[in-house]
């Protein structure tokens, strides 16, 4: 203060500038920082996405996702048990379906005993206390990697919707607690709701991948489920343009009207503005999917020693809470849960 005046006589003191309001007062000690902390990440916020493969007693590494593996059902059951013990409330399952079973229409999704449904049954039987979210989209089942039925170069909407609604019923019958349609077809939420209700699954919830953006952040996931080499063209004719937020709100509103119980924004970190808008404008339970590319970027930079991976992981997850999320789908879930439990 004296220095300031000395440097420039007549200059206002900092107290005059701030009106004596000192923001740093509450930042000076760990106890006071904890006391005024507005948002917190808890184990209850975590949903763990896992990849399933056929076979037994195997974990296949995924090159682009260090630390993430494709798991055979028996191993997945063990890992999910561990996650449940850590307090993780729910998982989301993604199958890497044998390529011989993939076709133009993704017909394997209608097999009640497909890999995804077998995994749900096994996990439900062994770990009934964890919530199971299944992704109702055709991409793991189609020979072209698109989320819908491909005809003459177009993803046909209505036929895809009918198939997804049928598949949702099979997924519910296999033990899924939440159906998460991730295909971005028009009318899918209402169709899935109707089909579930008619089949007696009125208590199965729907988490809509409401605002799923056409994004380059899904790259590593496509390696994980084996669609990377298959996909021709892009998904821009059905996913949202990442330049748009008004459209994202309208898309989410539509899903709420059709019966969505929960909304998801995907990818996560580049779309915090969308999370905040949906939470404020629609007020539904809102989730972010911290997608594969977000995970891989953190892992890669950390492996180079360029960032502190653990700190960046925690900072990104807390950002989702600050933006208004009720929970986050993240490949970090078991690691974060262990860390949060340790910190107590």
Residues that bind ligand PBG (CB under 6 A): 135, 137, 139, 147, 182, 218, 221-222, 235, 291-292
Catalytic residue status for 28: no
Place of tokens 């037994």: 56
Does residue 251 have a known ligand-binding role? yes
Q: How far is the CB of 181 from ligand PBG (least distance, A)?
A: 9
Catalytic residue status for 82: no
Choose the catalytic residue: 266, 279, 299, 321.
266
Pick 16 or 260: Cβ nearer ligand PBG: 260
Pick 231 or 307: Cβ nearer ligand PBG: 231
Q: How far is the CB of 117 from ligand PBG (least distance, A)?
A: 16
Pick 147 or 258: Cβ nearer ligand PBG: 147
Pick 215 or 319: Cβ nearer ligand PBG: 215
Q: How far is the CB of 208 from ligand PBG (least distance, A)?
A: 13
Q: How far is the CB of 331 from ligand PBG (least distance, A)?
A: 7
Q: How far is the CB of 83 from ligand PBG (least distance, A)?
A: 17
Pick 89 or 268: Cβ nearer ligand PBG: 268
Query: HEC profile for the chain?
Result: CHHHHHHCCCCCCHHHHHCCCCHHHHHCCHHHHHHHCCCCCCHHHEEEEEEEECCCCCEEECCCCCCCEEEEHHHHHHHHHHHHHHCCCEEEEEECCCHHHCECCCHHHHCCCCHHHHHHHHHHHHCCCCEEEEEECCCCCECCCCCCEEECCEEEHHHHHHHHHHHHHHHHHCCCCEEEECCCCCCHHHHHHHHHHHCCCCCCEEEEEEEEECCHHHHHHHHHCCCCCCCCCCCCCCCECCCCCHHHHHHHHHHHHHCCCEEEEECCHHHHHHHHHHHHHHCCCEEEEECHHHHHHHHHHHHCCCCCHHHHHHHHHHHHHHHCCCEEEECCHHHHHHHHHHHC
Task: Determine the Cα angle at 284 with ends 183 and 338, to 5°.
Answer: 80
CB-nearest residue to ligand PBG:
221
- Token pair for residue 186? 């028009």
Pick 136 or 323: Cβ nearer ligand PBG: 136
Interior/surface letters 120-146, b for 16+ CB within 10 angstroms, e for the rest: bbbbbebbeebebbbbbbbbbbbebbb
Name residues whose C-beta falls within 8 Å of residue 168's C-beta, 6 or more positions apart in sequence: 136, 179, 181, 192, 195, 196
Q: How far is the CB of 221 from ligand PBG (least distance, A)?
A: 3
CA 101 distance to own-chain centroid: 26
What residue numbers does the annotated binding site for Mg(2+) cover? 251
What residue numbers does the annotated binding site cover? 251
- Residues taking part in catalysis: 212, 266
């Amino acid at each position: 203060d004296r220095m300031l005046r000395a440097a420039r006589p007549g200059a206002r003191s900092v107290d005059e500038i701030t009106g004596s309001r000192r923001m740093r007062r509450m930042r000076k000690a760990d106890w006071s920082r904890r006391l005024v902390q507005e948002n917190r990440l808890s184990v209850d916020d975590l949903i763990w996405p896992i990849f399933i493969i056929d076979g037994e007693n195997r974990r296949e590494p995924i090159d682009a996702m260090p630390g993430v593996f494709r798991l055979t059902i028996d191993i997945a059951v063990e890992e999910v048990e561990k996650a449940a013990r850590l307090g993780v409330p729910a998982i989301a399952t993604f199958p890497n379906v044998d390529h011989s079973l993939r076709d133009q229409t993704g017909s394997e999704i209608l097999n009640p005993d497909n890999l995804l449904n077998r995994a749900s049954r096994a996990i439900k039987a062994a770990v009934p206390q964890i919530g199971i979210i299944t992704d109702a989209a055709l991409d793991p089942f189609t020979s072209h990697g698109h989320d819908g039925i491909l005809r003459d170069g177009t993803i046909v909407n209505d036929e895809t919707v009918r198939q997804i609604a049928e598949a949702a019923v099979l997924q519910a019958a296999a033990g899924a607690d939440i159906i998460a349609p991730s295909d971005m077809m028009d009318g899918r939420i209402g169709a899935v709701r109707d089909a579930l209700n008619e089949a007696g699954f009125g208590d199965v919830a729907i988490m809509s991948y409401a605002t799923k953006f056409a994004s380059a952040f899904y790259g590593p996931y496509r390696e994980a489920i084996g669609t990377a080499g298959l996909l021709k063209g892009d998904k821009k004719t059905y996913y949202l343009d990442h330049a748009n937020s008004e459209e994202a709100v309208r898309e989410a509103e539509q899903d709420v009207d059709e019966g969505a119980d929960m909304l998801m924004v995907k990818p996560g970190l580049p779309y915090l503005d969308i999370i905040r808008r949906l939470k404020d404008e629609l007020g539904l339970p809102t989730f972010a999917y911290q997608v594969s590319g977000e995970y891989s970027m953190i892992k890669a930079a950390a492996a180079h020693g360029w960032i502190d991976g653990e700190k960046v992981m925690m900072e990104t997850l807390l950002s989702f809470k600050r933006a208004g999320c009720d929970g986050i789908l993240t490949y970090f879930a078991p690691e974060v849960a262990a860390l949060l439990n340790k910190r107590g």
